[in-house]
């Protein structure tokens, strides 16, 4: 069936007095550069009518503004709009905002405190002066007359500005990108579009996963609510068993690692080695780290894995060590592939280290360290480079690096006093 | 030049620095766990807990104050990319 069959220019009622006024974008194949979609996406926006006010929740991408305004006009007049809620300012949801503000200049704009600076930056080219806006946070409310919008401060899902909006009397939750996915189907609802789990999971993995601590904070705010329907800003509207999606987010965001005594730390050592020199270094480093106790060390050869299979390991690890030989003045591609795939998990503040065997110039270790710092790992112990074949005393240095890393992880460090001048 | 001493509790390192140094300059050199994004006092990535000696850091700018507030930083927290050491002893750790 054609994607837009059954969908007219009119708004679609999702609850009494609450309408979907979004737009479908079935031909989109890539989103935000980092995401793919096989059937496009939707930009969901919603209208809520109370006895003395009408609220518009989010808008659509700019070039879909016509669809949005047509649907909006089928259920509300611009003069009636008292309230505009911005759950997320990314252009796919704020694109039609400048025009909406022109048509409904009396409306008051509600957004999170972190959204204020962004709103100004986004409206720059329109030359319009930013509208009157009200920064809100958890438990702030707007009364629409017999209907109350209540805000939930849920930052970093997936921008600093994101928030959710709860329609109290109806148990409807407008979540922005949270619980959304790039999936386009005119049937609109989760119980009518067919199986879209792949898309839901994919969206979480690429957009929400880097922020899993924030996901858990948000879920803690959402779980106590009575929820009859979740209205995300992309993809199917979740009216059938909406709670399942909340549970799934909790499940996905919860750390997996079995850690009976919370004191045990995890160090994962990744290496790759053409002639076994970097491998021997890795093994000595791992043995040294093990010897300290309180650290669970695992060793993986990158040659034995591909395509992001190590992402889970990285996400759960407390410390990460990377071993690469220097080949043509660089670390080797499997290392860079792994390091470039880490934007989907939060690695900030993890302990990082690098090591490797080299022939004459040995650039790999420094380059890896720079990348680790760039990824916001802490790199307190200088990496180790060994010329060609490590001998017994050099392997001892590798052990000692392992021991130092383990001490960092377990907090068993001897206090050091240094002068900044000595470090320059 | 007047000196100050800043201790990074997470890595157990104390560093003697000239007055006027920013925390970021020291913490990066010693590999403390404080991490950085914008390095310009906007993103709050470098949020740092000041355990003692807060009075030995120059008072926060208007921008820093605003960013701390927007991010709901608890009292006694500073942005390491902004906070300037003026003397005495200071103990910090990543927030
Ligand atoms: C998925 C996603 C993640 C983003 N992450 C960041 C970020 O971590 N830091 C940042 O400063 N901006 C971030 N941005 C904002 C973009 O850099 C910003 O929207 C920029 O204007 C896009 O430029 P472009 O029009 O050239 O694509 C992100 C945007 C998207 C879509
Ligand atoms: S690094 Fe962004 S505020 Fe300090
Ligand atoms: Fe978004
Ligand atoms: Fe979006």
Sequence spans of domains, chain A: 12-253, 264-407
Q: What is the pLDDT of residues B21-76, one digit of tens each?
A: 999 999 988 888 898 888 999 889 999 999 999 999 999 998 899 889 888 888 99
Q: Do B37 and A376 touch (CB under 8 A)?
A: yes
CB contact B63 to A (< 8 Å): no
What are the beta bridge partners of residue A141?
A150
CA distance B59 to chain A (A): 23
Q: What residue spans define the domains of chain B? A: 3-94
Of A342, A315, A320, nearest to A257 (Cα)?
A: A315
pLDDT at A262: 63
What sign results for the dihedral spanned by CA atoms A268, A269, A271, A275? negative
DSSP conformational letter for A34? T
CB contact B89 to A (< 8 Å): no
Distance CA B88, CA B56 (A): 6
For ligand 2, atom 3, name the residue with the nearest CA: B41
pLDDT at A6: 59
CA atoms within 13 A on the CB side of A364: 29
Q: Do A417 and B14 touch (CB under 8 A)?
A: yes
**Is the pTM above the cut of 0.80?**
yes
Ligand closest to Cα of A182 equals 4
**DSSP H/E element including A355:** strand A351-358
pLDDT at A258: 64
Q: pLDDT 10s digit of each residue in chain A, 424 long? A: 445 555 778 999 999 999 999 999 999 999 988 999 999 999 999 999 999 999 999 999 999 999 999 999 999 999 999 999 999 999 999 999 999 999 999 999 999 988 988 888 888 877 777 778 999 999 999 999 999 999 999 999 999 999 999 999 999 999 999 999 999 999 999 999 999 999 999 999 999 999 999 999 999 999 999 999 999 999 999 999 999 999 999 999 998 876 555 678 999 999 999 999 999 999 999 999 999 999 999 999 999 988 789 999 999 999 999 999 999 999 999 999 999 988 899 998 899 999 999 999 999 999 999 999 989 898 889 999 999 999 999 999 999 999 999 999 988 788 889 998 887 6
DSSP conformational letter for A124? G
What sign results for the dihedral spanned by CA atoms B22, B26, B29, B32? negative
Task: State in Å: Cα A129 to ligand 1 middle.
Answer: 23
Asked if residue B46 has its Cβ within 6 Å of ligand 2, the reply is: yes
Mapped onto helix, strand or coil, the DSSP state of residue A219 is helix
Our measurement of the distance from residue A137's CA atom to the centroid of its chain's CA atoms, rounded to an integer in Å, reads 21
Of A244, A247, A187, nearest to A215 (Cα)?
A: A247
Task: State in Å: Cα A354 to ligand 4 middle.
Answer: 37
pLDDT at A144: 98
Residue A98 backbone dihedrals phi, psi, to 5 degrees: -55, -40
Of A343, A245, A374, A250, nearest to A35 (Cα)?
A: A343
Q: Do B32 and A380 touch (CB under 8 A)?
A: yes
Q: What kind of architecture, by CATH, is found in domain A264-407?
A: 3-Layer(aba) Sandwich (3.40)
Q: Which residues in chain A have their CB less than 8 angstroms from residue B31's CB?
A: 378-381
Q: Do B15 and A415 touch (CB under 8 A)?
A: no
CB contact B36 to A (< 8 Å): yes
pLDDT at A2: 46
CA distance B74 to chain A (A): 17
- The answer to whether A238 and A188 are in contact (CB under 8 A) is no
Q: What class has domain A12-253?
A: alpha beta
Q: Do A413 and B12 touch (CB under 8 A)?
A: yes
**Dihedral angle over CA of B36, B41, B45, B51, nearest 10:** 100
Q: What is the pLDDT of residues A258-291, one digit of tens each?
A: 655 567 899 999 999 999 999 999 999 999 999 9
- Give the environment of ion ligand 4: residues with CB less than 5 A: A 92, 177
Q: How far apart are the first and last CA of chain B?
A: 30
- The answer to whether A405 and A294 are in contact (CB under 8 A) is no
Of A121, A119, A123, nearest to A134 (Cα)?
A: A119
What are the beta bridge partners of residue B6?
B15, B90
Task: State in Å: Cα A42 to ligand 1 middle.
Answer: 20
Beta-strand (E) ranges in A144-294? 148-153, 163-167, 172-176, 229-232, 265-271
The atom number, within ligand 2, closest to the CA of B80 reads 4
Distance CA A93, CA A233 (A): 8
In CATH, which superfamily holds the domain spanning B3-94? Answer: Beta-grasp domain (3.10.20.30)
Q: What is the pLDDT of residues B2-14, one digit of tens each?
A: 899 999 998 889 9
The complex scores an ipTM of: 0.86
Distance CA B68, CA B79 (A): 8
- Whether A12-253 and A264-407 share one fold: the answer is no
CA R_g for chain B: 12
Beta-strand (E) ranges in A44-136? 46-50, 53-57, 81-85, 108-112, 133-136
CB contact A414 to B (< 8 Å): yes
Give the nearest chain A residue to B15 (CA atoms).
Answer: A418
- The answer to whether B6 and B15 are in contact (CB under 8 A) is yes
The atom number, within ligand 2, closest to the CA of B38 reads 2
Distance CA B73, CA B46 (A): 11
CB contact A374 to B (< 8 Å): no
pLDDT at A73: 97
């Amino acid at each position: 069936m054609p994607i837009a069959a059954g969908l007219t220019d009119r708004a679609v009622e999702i609850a009494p007095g609450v309408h979907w006024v979004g737009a479908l974008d079935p031909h989109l194949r890539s989103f935000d550069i980092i995401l793919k979609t096989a059937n496009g996406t939707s930009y969901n926006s919603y209208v809520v009518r109370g006895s003395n006010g009408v609220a518009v929740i989010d808008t659509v991408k700019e070039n879909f503004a016509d669809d949005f305004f047509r649907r909006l006009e089928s259920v509300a007049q611009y003069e009636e709009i008292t309230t505009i809620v911005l759950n997320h300012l990314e252009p796919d949801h704020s694109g039609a905002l400048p025009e909406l503000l022109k048509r409904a200049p009396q409306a008051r704009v509600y957004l999170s405190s972190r959204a204020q600076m962004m709103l100004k930056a986004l409206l720059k080219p329109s030359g319009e002066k930013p509208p009157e806006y009200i920064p809100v946070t958890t438990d702030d409310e707007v009364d629409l007359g017999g209907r109350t919008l209540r805000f939930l401060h849920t930052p970093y899902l997936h921008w600093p500005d994101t928030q959710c909006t709860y329609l109290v009397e109806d148990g409807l939750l407008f979540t922005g990108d949270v619980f959304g996915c790039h999936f386009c189907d005119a049937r609109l609802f989760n119980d009518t579009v067919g199986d879209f789990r792949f898309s839901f999971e994919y969206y979480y993995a690429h957009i929400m996963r880097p922020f899993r601590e924030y996901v858990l904070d948000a879920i803690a705010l959402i779980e106590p609510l009575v929820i009859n329907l979740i209205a995300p800003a992309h993809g199917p509207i979740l009216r059938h068993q909406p709670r399942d999606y909340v549970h799934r987010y909790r499940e996905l965001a919860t750390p997996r690692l079995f850690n009976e005594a919370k004191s045990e730390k995890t160090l994962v050592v990744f290496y790759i080695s053409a002639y076994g020199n970097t491998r021997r270094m890795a093994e000595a480093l791992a043995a040294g780290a093990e010897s300290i106790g309180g650290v669970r060390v695992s060793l993986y050869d990158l040659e034995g894995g591909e395509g992001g299979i190590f992402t889970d390991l990285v996400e759960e690890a407390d410390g990460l060590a990377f071993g690469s030989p220097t080949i043509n003045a660089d670390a080797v591609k499997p290392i860079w592939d792994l390091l470039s795939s880490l934007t989907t998990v939060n690695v900030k503040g993890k302990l990082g280290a690098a090591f490797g065997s080299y022939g004459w110039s040995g650039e790999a270790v420094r380059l890896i360290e720079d990348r680790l710092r760039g990824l916001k790992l802490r790199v307190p112990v200088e990496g180790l480079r060994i010329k060609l074949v490590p001998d017994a005393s050099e392997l001892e240095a590798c052990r000692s690096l392992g021991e130092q890393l383990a001490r960092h992880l377990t907090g068993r460090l001897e206090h050091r006093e240094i002068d900044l001048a000595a470090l320059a | 030049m007047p000196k100050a001493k800043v201790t990074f509790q997470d890595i157990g390192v104390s560093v003697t620095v000239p007055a006027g140094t920013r925390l970021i300059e020291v913490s990066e050199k010693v590999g403390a766990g404080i991490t950085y994004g914008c390095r310009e006092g906007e993103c709050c990535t470098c949020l740092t807990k000041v355990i003692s000696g807060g009075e030995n850091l120059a008072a926060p700018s208007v921008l820093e104050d605003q960013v701390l507030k927007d991010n709901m930083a608890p009292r006694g927290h500073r942005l390491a990319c902004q906070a300037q050491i003026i003397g005495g002893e200071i103990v910090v750790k990543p927030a």
